[in-house]
Amino acid sequence: MVRLLDGSMSAQLKHFGYDCNSAENIPHWTFPANSDECLVANAYKSFLDLGVTDITTNTYHFGSTLDKRIPENDSKKEIYENYFQIACSSLVKLTEMKDGVRVWGSVGTLATLYHDMSEYNGKYMDNEDAENTARNYYQTILTLFQTKTKVRNLVFETIPSAVEGLMALEALKRFPEMRAVMSFTFKENACLRHGEEIDTLAGELRKCSQIVGMGINCTDPENVLPALKVIKKHNFPEVFVYPNMGDSKFLNEGSDESDVFNLDMVTGWVENGATTIGGCCGVTETQMKILKKIVDNLNNSK
């Protein structure tokens, strides 16, 4: 069975009057929505009503609250940790009576610490102390999941470089209860945004029993298949695919209701190992409904 993952949280929150780009929400984007439990619950419910089988916590942008360059972050540490807990407990509660629905704790890339869209190049990993920064960053977030929530399945999202992926893996190993899908963002020719090929990295991830899968996210739909073909060789139990609306559209801050998904494209992904498919940045509810029909069609044809 092909499973359906949720879509863009920022796009979904717009339906409920929340604007990630408003002055009061920058640079934390979707994360402050957790201050209103009813708001975030409604966003989760709208995905569940759509028929998703896999859904992520609204914790991706927590990293920006760790940026020491923002004076208020230190004084609001407990408040932000409470928002983190609300994001997780609200979703766990909503899905307790939903048979077959899996909750995944969203672990945002280190780029969220810098909140400058650097996940699309990964250049921060060229900084002198980048490995130690990444190691501490992931340790902090996984500690929150361990101590503040019941969520034990994680998805590390939008990782643009191999070294960052290895630092995330190192942190994960310190939390043996956790299982994870590690998801990366790609450019052309199955290369990560930072430029690395992924065959060796995929092999390292596959050796770890805590890694249940590998993913491709916030990647132009046209760049998914080459990466999938490399990942397929490593026989991960789970392969997540959730592209953005298209780099040229999303990165230019445009909006587009044209189809992101079509039957031939999604069929190709499934034939090359994709087990769970959803949407990332810019993918709207309308586009997710199209994907739902495609996934249902594929499942019914089996």
What are the pLDDT digits (tens) for 249-276?
A: 655 555 555 689 999 999 999 999 999 9
- Residue whose token pair is 């997710």: 288
Give dist(CA 51, CA 64) in Å, integer.
Answer: 31
Residues making up the binding site for Zn(2+): 218, 280-281
Number of domain units in the chain? 1
Q: Is 165 helix (H, G, I), strand (E, B) or coil?
A: helix
User: For the whole model, what pTM was predicted?
Assistant: 0.96
The two structure tokens encoding residue 129: 């102390």
Percent of the chain with pLDDT over 70: 96
pLDDT at 183: 98
Q: What integer best gives the mean pLDDT of the chain?
A: 96
Q: Domain holding 65: CATH number?
A: 3.20.20.330
pLDDT at 11: 94
pLDDT band at 133 (very low <50, low <70, confident <90, very high): very high
Q: CB of 182 within 8 A of CB of 214?
A: yes
pLDDT at 20: 93
pLDDT at 32: 98
pLDDT band at 128 (very low <50, low <70, confident <90, very high): very high
Q: CB of 239 within 8 A of CB of 231?
A: yes
pLDDT at 259: 83
Q: Average pLDDT, stretch 16-23? A: 94
Sign of CA dihedral 149, 153, 154, 155: negative
pLDDT at 142: 98
> How does pLDDT run across 215-246, given as a tens digit for each residue?
999 999 999 999 999 999 999 999 999 999 99
Range of the domain at 255: 3-300
Q: CB of 46 within 8 A of CB of 288?
A: no
Residues making up the binding site: 218, 280-281
pLDDT band at 247 (very low <50, low <70, confident <90, very high): confident
